[in-house]
Structure 1
Amino acid sequence: MMRRLVGHTALLTMLASTTAAQDSGPSYTVFGTPGLLEMPTAESAAPNEIAVTLAYSATGGYRTSFTYQLTDRLSGSFRYGVFDQYGQPTTANPDPENFETFDRSFDVHYRLTNESGYIPAIAVGMRDFLGTGRYSSEYIVASKSIGSDLVVTAGLGWGRMGQNNSFANPLGVVTDYFDDRPVYQDREFSDDPTVGLGGQLSTNQWFRGDAALFFGAEYQYSEKLGFKAEYSSINYPEEVFNPAVDYASPLNFGLSYRYNPGIELGASYMYGTEIGLRGTFILNPTERATASGLDPAPAPVRVRTADQLAAATWDRARQPEAAVRKGLGDLLAIEGIELVGLEITDRTARLRYENTRYRSEAQAMGRAARMMTQVIPPSVQTFIMEPVQAGLPLSQVRLPRDQIESLENTVGASAAIYNAASFGQAGVAAGLESLPDPDPRFRWGVGPYLALTVFDGSGPLNADVGLEAMAEYQVSRNLIVSGRVQQTALGERDALNFFDNENGYVNVRSDQAYYGLSGDPVLTSLYGAYYTRVTPEIYGRVTAGYLEKMYGGVSTELLWAPVASRLALGAEVDYVMLRDQDMGFGFAKYDTLANDERVEDGDYNTVTGHLSAYYDIGRGYQAQVDVGRYLAGDYGATFSLDREYENGWKIGGYFTLTDMSSEDFGEGSFDKGIRITIPYDYFLGTPTRNTTSTVLQSLARDGGAKLQVNGRLYETVRSGQLSDLTDTWGRFWR
């Protein structure tokens, strides 16, 4: 499930976008993957391309797919389907009606070879390899271009793709292990707890059982219009556990229309019985939706004269320190940078500042250095830059002033100033002439909100809209009090059809469908957050209050993060109580103990926490492992991998394994999902630090559930670490 309470959501952003890769690339299937109509091809989208596909047919139902081209050869897909399924005949009801069911699945596709003059591209893949198994298939496929307009494809499929005119598995010549394929069963109709839960790797099925051939062709009639035809190896037999598809023919025909590089529309005649429709919305995060360079021009570097270069000391009579500080503060404010502290000697000037505008600390540092050349005494030879966030000094970068003066507007200036700089931990406060903490600053705003729930147990998409009021009171640079209140425009609502657990665990997440449904104003959050630097390499955070939609309490955290290290280590301990479902100031009441949790005066409370390791792999890849205790009292670990692009986009995935069994967890077997962060400046074209984040989960359950607290330390300090500064250093002169 995904909840985003303010601003845009990644899904709507992608649907609304009209930008994508510069060339059109391959067209997409009704399953949301590059290919023909149902069947895959050996083609791959452009690296980093994201595609969201919405497909519909009368008996095939709805499919919503998210596909991401991770590398030049490897892609992955997540899919949510809504379709009719045949009811199981019983003695009491020998002729049951069909019923609507929901299905989640994951795909992977890897291109083994590139196409050459006489050799086709060859790919191997698996469809629904990590789901309930309704579409479970494996395949190997080859595609070859004939001229510039025609691509022909042929492949061999197993599982669902091995049904139509099937024959004995050719892998059986290697071993008879491949001759038979275990039969899929749905746990809803089975007493066997080992099958049908979804979320489990069905390795005992892969490339086993009968195989079948599929083939097809796509002809590109014009730059926008293409025609497709295929012989599908899926025949949708009318069995109890199969989707209720009206199937009459293996021949499918269709067309694709690339309205613009970011929108592809499709229509098809499927199964010999029905019309299907498809829309695919394509975006590549490495390419900008708006014109680049809309940032306001930076101030020019002020170059010292020969006489000024000869100065060995600072003439304090001509340039009083107070005047320098005031002048620099005013200049920095133009750039959205707040002067926190300043220390000036005859040869060095140490600036501690807070960047409130630029996503890249390197860009803010470059702008601040330019302003320093305007007013810092000419005898100063070295600028010492110390960026700050949430009152925490993040790092220290020493820049030779003469290099700043000589490199501006030269070829290779970014690399040259990087090589001339030195990086280390931020210094101590001693010696800094610090500006007093700002007067308690009160900020507030009122605006519309859109909250989406996607891929939950009740359907592919549910939405809530209304007004949200936000207020923030900055007591000091290190202490902030923040709150949000929402008023829905939809009035009182019924709960979504989530799955309650009956396994001895408290519904620590699956009850969220019941929160805030009264139609009255709800308190989304109200908390105070305090940040401190314990040692030069260790940071601390304490957050207390109504931390999120479902929980209130206290969250504490320590983070060891040396500036030059790719590794950071953290520890978090939280004491939280479950809030009332009306999302007021009260807490939930429970009549009995659950999973040995302590219940005092009817309130459910628990201690949760994790030890975390963060590692910057390089080239934008970041790995994270969290080990500890989750909200339901289960113990385990969460593994995450994210890719962050230089323009601020971040796309990644995670999975959590705990001592809660897959049977207790329920459908999905374990927690997993895809997460996306989109910077606002990608679309606005003007600098801002604001982002919007979404999480796409196959199903929100209670196992592996973590507290959702804002302002965790690693994301707060990471922008000032050497690895992040290095990755975005190209923006220093922007």
Structure 2
Amino acid sequence: MARRAGIAALLAGATALAGAVQAETVPSFNLYGLPGLVDMPDANMAPDATLALTYGRMGTANRGSVSFQIAPRLVGTFRYTGIENFDHRASADGVYYDRSFDLRFQILTEGDWRPSVVVGLQDFIGTGIYSGEYLVATKTLRPGLQVTGGLGWGRLASYNGFEGFGERSEEILGTGGQPTTDRWFRGDIAPFGGIAWSPNERLTFKVEYSSDEYVTETAQAGFEHNSPINLGMDYRFKSGTQLSVYYAHGSTLAAQLTYAMNPKTLGVPGGVESAPNPVSPRSAAEIADLGWTSDLVSARASTQDRLARSLEREKLGLEGFDLEPRRATLRLRNETYGAPAQAIGRAARAMSRILPASVEEFVIVPSEKGMPASAVTLRRSDLEALENEAADQMLARTGFGEAPRDTPKMDLEEYPRFLWSLAPYFGYATFDPDGPFRIDVGASLRGEFQFTPNIIASGSINKKIVGNLDEVTRVSESQLPRVRTDYAEYAREADPRIPRLTLGFYGKPATQLYSRLTLGYLEPMYAGASAELLWKPSDSRFALGAELNYVERRDYDMLFGLQGNETTDPVSGITRSFPHVNGHVSAYYDFGKGYNAQLDVGRYIAGDTGATLTFTREFVNGWRIGAFATVTDVSSEDFGEGSFDKGLMFSIPVAIGTGQPSRNDTTMTIRSVQRDGGAKLAIDDRLYQRIRENHEPDVAASWGRFWR
């Protein structure tokens, strides 16, 4: 599916990330993309929040993986494998592509005498080709020397195992995607182990005894398993990249490249922007002077005009202003700074230089689409006293509260406003067996006409330059209306295209209540109306929302036509219709330390009903990494390959690549497979994320940039 993005900034950012994780802090990764030896796991853990990308080849299999250290003791891994000469009904041109997910948890951390102990589930919701479980321990005997031993089940018990508990099915699941709980820790058990020796911080040599006999690959793909002994060598570059070479199973040379980064330690992007003006101190006599209040109306008007010009130099906007003898309230528009505390800090400095000296209390109200989101209260004397001190001292004296729904009144003098940009875009599709990754790259002309802060018309026109999304030919097995799986038709016929063209209305009906109404061409495939209501107290970790949509499918040329809510299966010729109305009730919870959960319950585009659980880990610098799963009343057979909708999300701040402050990001959603069940509208500007960014927990988390 297409995604607007600053692709050039993203590529530059990837280069900038080199060196983000020091080599000596990251363990070796095995051929499954996990901390381990050669093929077998060990009990090491990467530093918290490490994101590792691996690509390797052994025998007839290419393996790529994404591994994320979700918490200090919990790791999740997504793996994508292509096995050549594999006899399976889903093979394409002799290659079978398989997706699998792993989880591993550290039961015990290593101590003086105690080893680290990890329990793991491998390919626990996949087809079962790599299905296995393990319990493994690793002990450091001396610096640079580790010994590992463990027990494996399933695939990891296929060589020299002994009878364990219960029976275990060896069937390869046709649709995949189902938790194989009936197999976990059942069947034969086999031991495995190995030794890793690092003579220096760059090199590691490994020898392991493997309990994986590669039964399926030997029988179907011509793999030779002559020995359980594997040998390996890792070389770690200063950037954190790991190059590994192996001699495996007495028959095969293998190699792998691992790239590790850590969003947690990257810092908040930016730094190229100009420095803010210093706080302007006052004398005692100036503080006591209230002579200016004799003509308060005139003083308010002239002060507002000067403050607006000062904020404009800081790339901020004044949406409303109120001035009293001892207090001033600023309604602040921030379209520039990804760290909300940086925008508040710059606004506070500007106020200290412009406002009459008697004004002691500053109330800054961050505004999103014309909706006042919170009220941040600062004392001017604290700004003067603490400007050269640590930011946390200022935070301790700052107050956070609810913003009144319409105070101060909006200043509409600079409206309407027109903004536009010309930038690259890319659209992508993943895991089609005939082409595992397809991409279109082109140019996107975007515009936004702001009638008022909360009435906004926006849209974009995209022109493809190069790509192969239109080459998708495989027909979906889904027995549902083709609400998503005909994306290739849109890719073939829509060039140039209008991905979105909408008119949005944003409001604040009550103090803790926010609203959105969006009309027009809502996303690349659907037009109609979308209404949303969000309840979010500024001091609460909990929020509730509701969204109701009325949609009709757009023509394949993605211009102005509609084609009705009926689709025809190209194989069976069956025509299926789907409802115009869909929507969800949503619950949000912030667990703290960047962990957030969202539960959506309702009706999806195809008419199926169910729930989506999304779990994300977010970082102060704007990175977000998450996973989601949707289960509806559609059976796995009707859903088709994958059984239910699930995937990973990666959101990268554009500022990583440019060095300039920005609120924009590039978001990629990687689904194990795109199907029609559990499909939601891809609407821009949903309320929760933007509103939450201006509430106390998020503002406080970025407070280190208050003085920047």
TM-score range, shorter chain: over 0.9
Q: Which moved more, 1:274-283 or 1:219-228?
A: 219-228
Query: CA–CA distance in 2 between the matches of 1:29 and 1:296?
Result: 45
What secondary structure is seen at the aligned counterpart in 2 of 1:184? coil
**Where does 1:86-125 land on structure 2 (aligned, <5 Å)?**
86-87=86-87, 99-125=94-120
Question: Which of 400, 418, 437 matches 1:423?
Answer: 400
Shift of 1:680: 2.3
Query: CA–CA distance in 2 between the matches of 1:538 and 1:480?
Result: 20
Q: Is the 8 A contact 1:166 1:210 kept in 2?
A: yes
- Cα separation, partners in 2 of 1:401 and 1:239, compared to 1, 3 Å: closer
Query: CA–CA distance in 2 between the matches of 1:457 and 1:490?
Result: 21
User: TM-score, normalised to structure 1's length?
Assistant: 0.89
Deviations 1:592-643 (A, max 9, x none): 799xxxx99x996521101111122222221111110001101111111211
**Where does 1:28-43 land on structure 2 (aligned, <5 Å)?**
28-43=29-44
**2:234 is the alignment partner of 1:237:** no
1:351 is aligned to 330
Shift of 1:312: 4.3
Aligned residues: 700
Q: Provide the aligned C-alpha RMSD in A.
A: 2.8
1:711 is aligned to 685
Question: Which of 582, 607, 620 matches 1:608?
Answer: 582
Deviations 1:532-558 (A, max 9, x none): 121222111111111112111111111
**2:195 is the alignment partner of 1:217:** yes
- The amino acid of 1:56's aligned partner reads R
Q: Which runs of 5+ in 1 are unaligned?
A: 90-95, 170-177, 188-196
**Where does 1:268-287 land on structure 2 (aligned, <5 Å)?**
268-287=246-265
- Cα separation, partners in 2 of 1:477 and 1:139, compared to 1, 3 Å: same
Give me the identity figure in percent: 40
2:521 is aligned to 546
- Cα separation, partners in 2 of 1:509 and 1:338, compared to 1, 3 Å: same
Deviations 1:318-350 (A, max 9, x none): 983332112111111121110111111112111
1:496 is aligned to 472
**2:633 is the alignment partner of 1:638:** no
**2:570 is the alignment partner of 1:583:** no
- Cα separation, partners in 2 of 1:21 and 1:493, compared to 1, 3 Å: closer
Query: CA–CA distance in 2 between the matches of 1:135 and 1:13?
Result: 35
- The amino acid of 1:543's aligned partner reads T
- Cα separation, partners in 2 of 1:454 and 1:9, compared to 1, 3 Å: farther
1:173 is aligned to none
- The amino acid of 2:167's aligned partner reads D
1:172 is aligned to none
What secondary structure is seen at the aligned counterpart in 2 of 1:62? strand
Q: Is the 8 A contact 2:269 2:621 kept in 1?
A: no
1:452 is aligned to 428
Shift of 1:708: 0.3
**Where does 1:198-347 land on structure 2 (aligned, <5 Å)?**
198-238=176-216, 245-288=223-266, 293-312=271-290, 314-315=292-293, 320-347=299-326
Question: Which of 353, 377, 385 matches 1:374?
Answer: 353
Q: Is the 8 A contact 2:430 2:670 kept in 1?
A: yes
Q: Is the 8 A contact 2:494 2:557 kept in 1?
A: no
- Cα separation, partners in 2 of 1:78 and 1:34, compared to 1, 3 Å: same
Query: CA–CA distance in 1 between the matches of 2:102 and 2:92?
Result: 31
- Cα separation, partners in 2 of 1:218 and 1:497, compared to 1, 3 Å: farther
**2:454 is the alignment partner of 1:478:** yes
Shift of 1:363: 1.8
1:487 is aligned to 463
- Cα separation, partners in 2 of 1:275 and 1:483, compared to 1, 3 Å: same
Query: CA–CA distance in 2 between the matches of 1:492 and 1:28?
Result: 33
Q: Is the 8 A contact 1:492 1:519 kept in 2?
A: no
Q: Which runs of 5+ in 2 are unaligned?
A: none
What secondary structure is seen at the aligned counterpart in 1 of 2:4? coil
Question: Which of 178, 186, 189 matches 2:173?
Answer: 186
1:6 is aligned to 5
Shift of 1:15: 6.0
Shift of 1:490: 3.1
1:161 is aligned to 156
Shift of 1:81: 1.0
**Where does 1:63-102 land on structure 2 (aligned, <5 Å)?**
63-84=63-84, 86-87=86-87, 99-102=94-97
What secondary structure is seen at the aligned counterpart in 2 of 1:695? strand
**2:524 is the alignment partner of 1:534:** no
Query: CA–CA distance in 2 between the matches of 1:11 and 1:315?
Result: 51
Q: Is the 8 A contact 1:86 1:97 kept in 2?
A: no
Query: CA–CA distance in 2 between the matches of 1:397 and 1:283?
Result: 34
Q: Is the 8 A contact 1:362 1:731 kept in 2?
A: yes
Shift of 1:42: 0.7
What secondary structure is seen at the aligned counterpart in 2 of 1:215? strand
1:46 is aligned to 47
- Cα separation, partners in 2 of 1:276 and 1:470, compared to 1, 3 Å: same
Q: Which moved more, 1:442-451 or 1:355-364?
A: 442-451
**2:411 is the alignment partner of 1:435:** yes
Query: CA–CA distance in 1 between the matches of 2:467 and 2:670?
Result: 26
- Cα separation, partners in 2 of 1:619 and 1:210, compared to 1, 3 Å: same
- The amino acid of 1:710's aligned partner reads D
Query: CA–CA distance in 1 between the matches of 2:369 and 2:578?
Result: 32
Query: CA–CA distance in 2 between the matches of 1:231 and 1:497?
Result: 44
Query: CA–CA distance in 2 between the matches of 1:499 and 1:229?
Result: 45
Q: Is the 8 A contact 1:55 1:62 kept in 2?
A: yes
What secondary structure is seen at the aligned counterpart in 1 of 2:351? helix
Query: CA–CA distance in 2 between the matches of 1:42 and 1:603?
Result: 51
Query: CA–CA distance in 1 between the matches of 2:295 and 2:287?
Result: 18
- Cα separation, partners in 2 of 1:280 and 1:11, compared to 1, 3 Å: farther
Query: CA–CA distance in 2 between the matches of 1:123 and 1:255?
Result: 23
1:191 is aligned to none
- The amino acid of 2:448's aligned partner reads E
Deviations 1:475-497 (A, max 9, x none): 22112222222222237864325
**Where does 1:611-626 land on structure 2 (aligned, <5 Å)?**
611-626=585-600
Q: Which moved more, 1:487-496 or 1:655-664?
A: 487-496
Shift of 1:579: 1.8
What secondary structure is seen at the aligned counterpart in 1 of 2:281? coil
Q: Which moved more, 1:662-671 or 1:310-319?
A: 310-319
Query: CA–CA distance in 1 between the matches of 2:633 and 2:387?
Result: 57
Q: Which moved more, 1:493-502 or 1:42-51?
A: 493-502
Query: CA–CA distance in 2 between the matches of 1:431 and 1:108?
Result: 50
